[in-house]
Structure formats: C-alpha cells, structure tokens
Structure 1
Amino acid sequence: MRTVVVTGGFGVLGRAVAAAFRENGDRVARIDFAPQAADANPGGLDLGGVDLTDATQAAAAVAEITDVMGGIAVLVNVAGGFVWEPLDEDAPGTWARMFAMNATTCVTMTAAALPTLKSMPGAAIVNIGAGSALVAGAGMGAYAASKQAVHKLTESLAAELAGSDCTVNAVLPSIIDTPANRADMPDADWAQWVQPDALARVILFLASPGARAISGALLPVSRGG
C-alpha cells in the first residue's frame, strides 16, 4: 500500500485525484490552504490551513505525513489558482500571486518531499500544468507564465532524477469542468471540458507501474472524458 500526497487536496480536482488513488488501494494524505475538506478521506490524513508557499510549512507537512503514514511514494501537485487579467489592470500583484500559487507551491512541496521520494521504489511526481500555457491568449500572461514554470520544473527535475527510481511528469489539461469555471464561463460548451475524474485517471496512470518508462513528459489532456 503506497502513501500518496495530494496538494490542493480539498478542491474539486484534488478530491477526485485522492478518490482515484484510494480506489486503487493507496493511502492518501491531502494538504490544502483551506482549513478543512468538504468530504471524508477514509484511511488517510488531512492537513488543512497549510500555506505551501512557505517552505517551512511544506517541510512540516512532509514530516507529519512520513511520521504517521511512512515514506511518500507519490506526490501530486494540484495546488494552484487561475486568474484572467489584462496587463494594465494589476500586473505586478497578479503575476506575483500566480507564481506563488502555481509555481512556488509546486517547488516547495516537491523539494520537501524529494528525499523520501528518492528513497522509495517506483516513486512518482505528477504536476498539474496547463494546455493554455503553451500559447498564452489575451489576459492569460500571468497564469500561463506560472504554469510554464511548472512545465520547466517538470522537465528539469526529470533530468536531475534520471538515475533514480522516481519519475516526474505533468498533465496539461484544457479547461477542467469545475463549478468555478462554469460560473466564470456560463456560455461555454461545458461538454467539451475535461472531467476531474478523467484527469484523475490519467494522473493515476502516470503514477502506475505501466508508466515507469515515462519521465519528463508534458501530457496534454483535452477530451471531456
């Protein structure tokens, strides 16, 4: 039974990812900035109120998880955020916020968990990138740039870990079907959006024995599922 850590674990995608790993027979530790989750995490551990932009808090979370659940075999970095904003509205604040939420959380959590991941056989890191970061549209500069940082972290870390038994990959979803996205885009064709459960299954595959030959991949996920 593996110990799996999901950051942003109390959100829509985080809950879907955690559920997929639980159904696979794994134990899941969910970490989130929110104080508590809206659902249960049977057999797992929930850590709320954790600011993963703070390396000290990330390290403390990893220490608690390894103390309670043992070595971390899989890390899924879901924590992040989105904003659409033209450059002339609040550029410095928005860019800083997007990099903190999307890139810094990924870096701090990965760095904190890396020693235990490197010690585990068949370990895996899966990051959440973005298809829209490949070519940034209007108002997407801050978000796209922060997700590109996640992409480059994925590629670089995969190269650094080439001699280890830990893979590093990222999924690049198009629009994920969440209540927040529906509220922001009420006139869109929701049927074409990626379902959280479908994206969770792709993540589960990248952390499975069947994907051990894949590392450093930026995998587009663009079908509704």
Structure 2
Amino acid sequence: MNGKIIVITGASGALGRVVVDMAISRGAIVAAIDHASKTPASTVKLFQIGDIDLSEAAQAERAVAVAVAQFGRIDVLINIAGAFTFETICDGSNDSWERMHRLNLLTALNASRAAIPHLLASKAGRIVNIGAIGALQAGAGMGPYAASKAGVHRLTETLAAELKGKVTVNAVLPSTIDTPANRRDMPDADFSKWVTAKELAEVILFLASDAASAVTGALLPVSGRV
C-alpha cells in the first residue's frame, strides 16, 4: 500500500477507523470522508473531509474533488459508509427501506461514480465495497438491510464488468462484525464466532493492493468462525 492515495468513506465508524489505521501503517495516504462534521485533525498521512452526505451525488462529487485537489490523484476507493436496521415487514414502514437504500447503496454508487474518472487515471485503480452475507439469504427482520446490500452486490458486479481491465471492483461480505455496538445489541451472542474489524480490514486491503490485480467482480464472504 506504500504511497497509494486511498479514499475511505465512513471513516469514523468502528470498521472505518481500523481500515484507516491499517492502511496508514502500511504506507498509504488516506482521505477520510465521513458524515460527521467533527473529525480529528488532519495529518501528513490522513486528510479529513467531514460533513458529507454521500447519498447526495453533488456532495460525493465535492468530497472526491477535495481529495483530488489535496493529493493530485486517487488510487483506491473503499466504500465503508453504511448503516443497519432490524425491522420486520409487517411492523415496519417504507421509511426504513428508503433509508437503507440511501445509506448503503446510494453512498457507494455516488462515491464510485465521482471517483471513477480519477481511478481510471491510476495505474492500479481499485474499488472495494462492503456487502453482507445476510444479503445472500435474508432472514426475518433483515428485509430493508438485505435488499440494500444486495444492491451493493449487483453494483459491484456491474462496475467490475464495465471497468474490466481498467479498475478492479470487488466486495467483501462480512457476517456479524465484532463491534461495541453489536455487542450491546446482541449481549447473549457468542462474540468469539464473529469476524473482527481487523480481520475484515486485512481482506479489504488485500483487495485494494497490487497483489489482487487479477481479482475483479468478486463477492468475498468473510464469515468469521460461524
């Protein structure tokens, strides 16, 4: 990853922070895009871009333009921005479906569309998305989330086909990630079976690396020890 310019969305979340730190530790320079307006101070290796709603195409374009203005290019886009909701169809509303669509699918779509011209100019352009194993076969209460993540899977496959030979596009499909929020929400679960953020970050950065130059269109399960 040494010297690569990496744009990471959702950078202040539990997974985003781990990916940012790991990428920097391996020599990358990171533009961290987040919805939060209050972000840590930028450093030589980390440039913070806050107060961005990536579900709005114009804001995604602005954030990517700021990153390019700062560093001159982009080599990798890692789309981590997203959210989760658990809601049964009978007890829920369309609001949840629309929210998941915006936060999980439109964020990845808008950031990718804004970054593609710059990734095409890189000699090693990469896009890595975050899908979900739960989108392969949705269970009760998973409808809005699974539908939006299934959209991320199809987005990944379509972009991989459209950019084949120019930019690789892949997605990791985690099961439950071991985060403080998930532990609070599922206190009786066996946490030892969950995938850790560090384990998932390793796979993400592999797909972003030169070593994965022959991998595109992959939907790679990262299921922990289930």
> If the TM-score is normalised by the length of the shorter chain, which range does it land in?
over 0.9
Measure, in 1, the Cα distance between the counterparts of 2:89 and 2:69.
45
Q: Determine the structure 2 residue equivalent to 1:43.
A: 45
Q: Distance in 1 between matches of 2:206 and 2:14?
A: 19
Q: Give the 3-state SS of the residue equivalent to 2:217 in structure 1.
A: coil
* Map of 1:68 onto structure 2: 70
Give the drift of 1:193: 0.8
Give the alignment of 1:151-170 within 5 angstroms: 151-164=153-166, 166-170=167-171
Partner of 2:131: 129
Counterpart position of 2:150: 148
Aligned residues: 223
Say if 1:63 and 1:40 are closer, same or farther in 2 by CA, change over 3 A. closer
User: Is it true that 1:216 corresponds to 2:217 in the alignment?
Assistant: yes
1:77 maps to 2:79: yes
Gaps of 5+ in 2: none
Change (3 A) 1:19 1:56: same
Report SS of the residue matched to 1:171.
Answer: strand
> Normalising by the residue count of structure 1, what TM-score does the alignment of the two structures yield?
0.96
The alignment yields a C-alpha RMSD, in angstroms, of 1.3
Task: Decide which of 23, 32, 46 is 1:30's aligned counterpart.
Answer: 32
1:89 counterpart SS class:
coil
Matching residue of 1:91:
93
Which piece of structure 1 moves more, 94-103 or 41-50?
A: 41-50
CA contact (8 A) 1:10 1:36 kept: no
Q: Structure 1's 22 and 131: CA in aligned 2 closer, same or farther, altered over 3 A?
A: same
Tell me if the contact between 1:6 and 1:76 (Cα under 8 Å) persists in the aligned partners. yes
| Aligned-pair CA distance for 1:34 | 1.1
TM-superposed CA distance for 1:86, in Å, is 0.5
| Alignment partner, residue 201 of structure 1 | 202
Q: CA deviation at 1:187?
A: 0.3
Percent identity between the two aligned chains: 50
Residue of structure 2 in register with 1:176 after alignment? 177
1:139-193 per-residue CA deviation (whole Å, 9 max, x = no partner) reads 00110000000000000100001131x1000000000011111111010001111
CA distance in 2, matches of 1:99, 1:143: 8
| Distance in 2 separating the partners of 1:208 and 1:110 | 18
| Aligned-pair CA distance for 1:29 | 0.7
What is the TM-score of this pair, normalised by structure 2? 0.95
Contact 1:17–1:200, Cα closer than 8 Å, also in 2: yes
Report the alpha carbon displacement of residue 2 of structure 1 after superposing the two structures with TM. 1.2
Q: State the alpha-carbon separation in 1 of the partners of residues 130 and 67 from structure 2.
A: 21
Deviates further, 177-186 or 30-39:
30-39
Post-superposition offset of 1:42? 5.2
Aligned to 1:12: 14
Q: 1:84 to 1:122 in 2, by over 3 A?
A: same
Give distance in 2, aligned partners of 1:222 and 1:37.
31
